[in-house]
Amino acid sequence: MNLTSEPIRITRGEGGEVEVEGLYDEFAARILARAGFMTFPTLRGQWVRLPFDLGRAWENEHASWAADMLTAARYHVDLDTDLRPGPPDGSAPPTTRRTKAAMTAQPAPPGSTRRPRR
């Protein structure tokens, strides 16, 4: 668990890359890796970011997925608002409710014969 009150921040950097800032432990690092983040060693520690050039929609989806998983694991997460997936105009898409189709008996095709089971 994250023992500090400092949140794990998922932001879009100045160069357009989606990166993670703040303190995190090994479990949080595994969650981030599961969401597609890569870790690179630097002189100051670790640089955790999503791969470049996979599109903003993909980056937003994976950043919000990481934030959801970290939140479910009880980490305090700060996700930039522009990383949340959704329609560009800010309106929510219409929700359609799927229902299960009822299974009905269908007559056998003409000309087919079934042998009784033994």
Interval 48-105: pLDDT, tens:
999 988 889 999 999 999 999 999 999 999 999 888 876 555 444 444 445 555 556 6
Do 66 and 32 contact (CB within 8 A), yes or no? yes
What pTM did the predictor assign? 0.66
Long-range contacts of residues 62-68, Cβ cutoff 8 Å, at least 24 apart: 62/18, 62/35, 62/36, 62/37, 63/10, 63/18, 63/35, 65/35, 66/10, 66/20, 66/31, 66/32, 66/35, 66/36, 66/37, 67/10
3-state helix, strand, coil in the chain (%, to 5): 25, 20, 55
Confidence of residue 46 (pLDDT cuts 50, 70, 90): confident
Higher pLDDT pick, 85 / 32: 32
Q: Coil, helix or strand for 60?
A: helix
